[in-house]
Structure 1
Amino acid sequence: MTLIEMIVVITILGVLATLIVTSSIWRIGEAKQSVALTNIKTLESKVQEFYVDCGRLPNSQEGLQALVRPPSDVGTRWKGPYVKEKDILDPWGNEFIYRSPGQHNSDFDIMTFGADRQEGGEGENQDVGNWQ
């Protein structure tokens, strides 16, 4: 094999490797978005359990921490913990955002801003919420 042939083969392998890595990174981001939505739906049901037990929703200040530790005013009605501390983190390691009352739902919103931690975005940076 000549030097030119080796350079051509190495170049082709480099291009193929770049395509594979780029595709894999995109799929990982897509998977994290899907996991985020699934986790949000689970948290939504846990907030409903909290409501049934305590007679009220967690307020925005308490947030999803109310599912991990009892707020001071619920006493023995709190039957938690409803989730573990790690369950209130999105796939990027940030705490899910909880708002009550919600901006998209009248009772409450649970959301993540995605990988970039900023409102809006596309792909892995897209916002995911319980109104979707």
Structure 2
Amino acid sequence: MKIRTSNPNTHTAAAFTLIEIVITLTIIAILASGSIYLLKGQIDSAKDTRVDSDLQAIGLALQSYESRALRMPTTEQGLMALVEKPTQEPIPENYRAFMEELPKDPWGLPYKYRFPAQKSKKPYDVWTAGPNGIDGDEDDLGNWKKTAAK
């Protein structure tokens, strides 16, 4: 029986061929693009959910303001009345701030407020102009419609 001995001068090279690398990168690119496409829908859904929670928080703060001041802030006083004491009449006697700061919508714009309401069944309207930033179109998201239904 003959025993094989390895020759220390012989080296075998193990490497990927160019075609294997190109195929692997193509597969990774296809998977990544599919993931990004699926994530876009999740991001939009997350923004709608955030609008819902912001509207609820503002609504609770407005109810608290009303119970303390015995009236809602006027349209001119706006949502800032929840953060700092209004300087325009009617100024509440028992003022207290109900929010540390006003939230901005997911697109970085302030929420809008109107009293009395024109669209909502509540006494006030609170809304955002939505992703396009244009007020008064079908992209508006407010307390008169649920964003989840969008």
- Give the shorter-chain TM-score range: 0.7 to 0.9
- Deviant stretches of 4+, over 3 Å: none
Question: For 1:32-57, what per-residue CA distance to the aligned partner results, in whole angstroms no more than 9, with x for missing partners?
Answer: 21011111011112111111211221
Partner of 2:10: none
Q: Does 1:33 align with 2:48?
A: yes
Question: For 1:90-129, what per-residue CA distance to the aligned partner results, in whole angstroms no more than 9, with x for missing partners?
Answer: 22221111111222125211111223212446xxxx4321
Q: 2:86 aligns with which of 71, 82, 85?
A: 71
Structure 1 unaligned residues grouped into runs of 5+: none
Query: What aligned pairs does 1:91-106 form with structure 2 within 5 A after superposition?
Result: 91-105=106-120
Partner of 2:23: 8
Q: Displacement, 1:12?
A: 1.4
Partner of 2:97: 81
**What root-mean-square deviation, in Å, do the aligned CA atoms of Structure 1 and Structure 2 show?**
1.9
Secondary structure (helix, strand or coil) at the match of 1:18 reads helix
Q: Matched residues in 1 for 2:56 and 2:74: separation?
A: 18
Partner of 2:128: 112
Question: For 1:3-36, what per-residue CA distance to the aligned partner results, in whole angstroms no more than 9, with x for missing partners?
Answer: 2332222111111111112322321221121011
**Are the aligned partners of 1:64 and 1:88 in contact in 2 as well (CA < 8 Å)?**
no
Partner of 2:63: 48
- TM-score (structure 2 length as normaliser): 0.73
Amino acid at match of 1:82: F
When Rg is computed on C-alpha atoms for both structures, the one with the higher figure is: 2
The structure with the largest helix share of the pair is 1
Secondary structure (helix, strand or coil) at the match of 1:111 reads strand
Partner of 1:127: 140
Q: Matched residues in 2 for 1:127 and 1:69: separation?
A: 27
